[in-house]
């Protein structure tokens, strides 16, 4: 067991920290206020390799391991969790899914573009009546011989408007329940593909989250990933890895709030001394640092298991469950350490607190993570 990062991992950490500090920090409050993410920043993320970290070099990616990816996610999430969710969905749900299960043609056609930053992807599983209960898909993909006819509605889709390509889960054989679900690669602009309402969210406000509607959208058969009926298994397998990415996002949000609190506590004076001299604040800082370190160990372990080709379902669920609770707790304490300043936007911690909440919800709520962990324990 080695708790030190390799030189390569340190280089990734440095590059991500540099990008976050120099490119993301300056406009992060405005982007949150305006609910907009600058497409030029997405292209920059692509150019620097942050959108396709685990994609093999022959398809334009960085060919890196999952640990590199979580290290970069942590650094970028310290500053801008909207940027990191865009990055996370593209890396671990869309690119990883196509690379792991797509055909050679699908990889060549889509991964290169998804790596460059000229195009990003979206992952469409949730529906108005199928969030946690994901097997209950109402969107249908009717088999029409050489194509599928797609009909239905998907909800809360990250990158909903800004994506160029969507992975859509849809039911083809209802009599087979979840074993009848397919996953289709659907290109933006296909007739009948409608981008619906943009959500006005509590946090990660700069990332665009939309309802997507499909009305008789023709999807060629060659755009199905895997065998007929593989769609639900695809979604579950991809989400196992995605959950490590969201755990890393939660870790980054917590670390960012902690770093700001540590600095503020040494600058702010009350009763004639820095508040860091008060035991009430020292105890908060100590507990924050301890929980963050424990979360980091779980996140890195899950990434390591994935890189070693070992089973990581339980480790990923534990990492997400714990890191997201830590993010919520640490950011709330960070606002408390900052007092009145913590409650205003300029000091960043109120945004981090709002951003933290979603990590307990998306890519499987905390309750679903407990269910996954319990099933693994009992099987
Ligand atoms: N990994 C691999 N396979 C899994 C799995 C996992 N973690 N969890 C379940 N499965 C498999 C089961 O083995 C089973 O397969 P078989 O029939 O071949 O044995 C199949 O999936 C169905 O599982 P269950 O019978 O256990 O089904 P269930 O309905 O009781 O439970 C669930 C399924 C685990 C609750 C699942 O619906 C789930 O994970 N729900 C949460 C969905 C989710 O995470 N949504 C996130 C949306 S995407 C998002 O947020 C992206 C974004 O924009 C940021």
pLDDT tens for residues 234-246? 999 999 999 999 9
Per-residue model confidence (pLDDT) at position 1: 82
Nearest CA to ligand 1 atom 44: 364
Instruction: Compute CA distances 7 → 4, 13, 26, 129, whole Å.
Output: 9, 10, 29, 47
pLDDT confidence band for 24 (50 / 70 / 90): very high
- 3 state SS for the chain: CCCCCCHHHHHHHHHHHHHHHHHHCCCHHHHHHHCCCCHHHHHHHHHCCCCCCCCCHHHCCCCCCHHHHHHHHHHHHHHCHHHHHHHHHHHHHHHHHHHHHCCHHHHHHHHHHHHHCCCCEEEECCECCECCCCCCCCCEEEECCCEEEEEEEEEEEECCCCCCEEEEEEECCHHHHHHHEEEEEEECCCCCEEEEEECCCCCCCCCCEEEEEEEEEEEEHHHECCCCCCHHHHHHHHHHHHHHHHHHHHHHHHHHHHHHHHHHHHHCEECCEEHHHCHHHHHHHHHHHHHHHHHHHHHHHHHHHHHCCCCCHHHHHHHHHHHHHHHHHHHHHHHHHHHHHHHCHHHCHHHHHHHHHHCCCCCCCHHHHHHHHHHHHHC
The distance from CA 101 to its chain's CA centroid, rounded to whole angstroms, is 20
Expressed in angstroms and rounded, the spacing between residue 236 Cα and the centre of ligand 1 is 5
| pLDDT digit string, tens, across residues 247-281 | 999 999 999 999 999 999 999 999 999 999 999 99
Expressed in angstroms and rounded, the spacing between residue 227 Cα and the centre of ligand 1 is 18
Question: What gap in Å lies between CA 339 and CA 264, rounded to an integer?
Answer: 11
**Mean pLDDT in the chain?**
97
* Cα dihedral 228, 233, 239, 240 in deg (nearest 10): -140
Residue 127 neighbours by CB distance under 10 Å:
21
Statement: residue 353 has pLDDT above 90? yes
Statement: residue 2 has pLDDT above 90? no
pLDDT confidence band for 164 (50 / 70 / 90): very high
Tokens representing 132? 């946690």
Q: Which of 89, 137, 236 to probe ligand 1 with, by most ligand atoms within 8 A of CB?
A: 236
Expressed in angstroms and rounded, the spacing between residue 305 Cα and the centre of ligand 1 is 20
Question: What gap in Å lies between CA 231 and CA 137, rounded to an integer?
Answer: 11
Statement: residue 351 has pLDDT above 90? yes
Q: Is 277 exposed, middle or buried (0-12, 13-18, 19+ CB in 10 A)?
A: middle
pLDDT confidence band for 292 (50 / 70 / 90): very high
Nearest CA to ligand 1 atom 47: 363
Expressed in angstroms and rounded, the spacing between residue 168 Cα and the centre of ligand 1 is 15
Instruction: Compute CA distances 1 → 5, 302, 313, whole Å.
Output: 12, 14, 21
Secondary structure (3-state) at 132: coil
Angle at the Cα of 361 (from 322 to 129), degrees rounded to 5?
145
Residue 53 · residue 64 · CB < 8 Å: yes
Nearest CA to ligand 1 atom 43: 364
Residue 117 · residue 46 · CB < 8 Å: yes
Nearest CA to ligand 1 atom 9: 236
* pTM of this structure: 0.97
Report the percentage of the chain scoring pLDDT > 70. Answer: 100
Residues identified as active-site: 363
Mean pLDDT, range 318-342, rounded to an integer: 98
Question: What gap in Å lies between CA 329 and CA 288, rounded to an integer?
Answer: 8
Q: Which of 90, 239, 359 to probe ligand 1 with, by most ligand atoms within 8 A of CB?
A: 239
Residue 233 · residue 62 · CB < 8 Å: no
| pLDDT digit string, tens, across residues 114-135 | 998 899 999 999 999 899 999 9
Token pair 């108005």 is at which residue?
A: 128
């Amino acid at each position: 067991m080695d708790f030190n990062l390799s030189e390569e991992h340190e280089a990734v950490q440095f590059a991500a920290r540099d990008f976050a500090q120099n490119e993301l920090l300056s406009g992060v409050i405005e982007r949150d206020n305006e609910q907009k993410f600058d497409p030029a920043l997405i292209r920059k993320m692509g150019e620097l390799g942050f959108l396709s970290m685990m994609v093999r070099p022959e398809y334009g990616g960085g060919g890196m391991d999952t640990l590199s990816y979580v290290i970069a996610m942590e650094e970028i999430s310290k500053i801008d969790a909207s940027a990191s969710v865009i990055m996370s969905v593209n890396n671990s749900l869309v690119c990883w899914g196509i690379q792991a299960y797509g055909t050679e043609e699908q990889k060549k056609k889509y991964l290169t573009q998804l790596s460059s930053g000229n195009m990003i992807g979206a992952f469409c599983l949730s529906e108005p009546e199928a969030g946690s209960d994901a097997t209950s898909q109402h969107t249908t993909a009717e088999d029409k011989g050489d194509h599928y006819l797609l009909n239905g509605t998907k909800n809360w889709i990250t990158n909903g408007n800004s994506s160029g390509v969507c992975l859509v889960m849809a039911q083809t054989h209802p009599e087979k329940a979840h074993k009848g679900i397919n996953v289709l690669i659907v290109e933006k602009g296909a007739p009948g593909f409608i981008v619906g309402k943009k959500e006005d969210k509590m946090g990660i406000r700069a990332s665009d989250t939309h309802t997507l509607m499909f009305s008789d959208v023709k999807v060629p058969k060659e755009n199905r990933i895997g065998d007929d009926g593989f769609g639900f298994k695809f979604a579950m397998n991809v989400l196992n890895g995605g959950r490590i990415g969201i755990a890393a996002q939660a870790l980054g949000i917590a670390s960012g709030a902690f770093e700001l609190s540590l600095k503020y506590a040494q600058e702010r004076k009350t009763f004639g001394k820095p508040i860091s001299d008060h035991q009430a604040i020292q105890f908060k800082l100590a507990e924050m640092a301890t929980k963050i370190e424990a979360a980091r160990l779980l996140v890195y372990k899950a990434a390591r298991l994935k890189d070693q080709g070992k089973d990581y379902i339980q480790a990923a669920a534990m990492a997400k469950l714990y890191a997201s609770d830590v993010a919520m707790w640490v950011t709330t304490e960070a606002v408390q350490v900052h007092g009145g300043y913590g409650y205003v936007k300029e000091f960043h911690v109120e945004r981090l607190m709002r951003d933290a909440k979603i990590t307990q919800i998306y890519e499987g709520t905390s309750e679903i993570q407990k269910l996954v962990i319990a099933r693994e324990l009992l099987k």
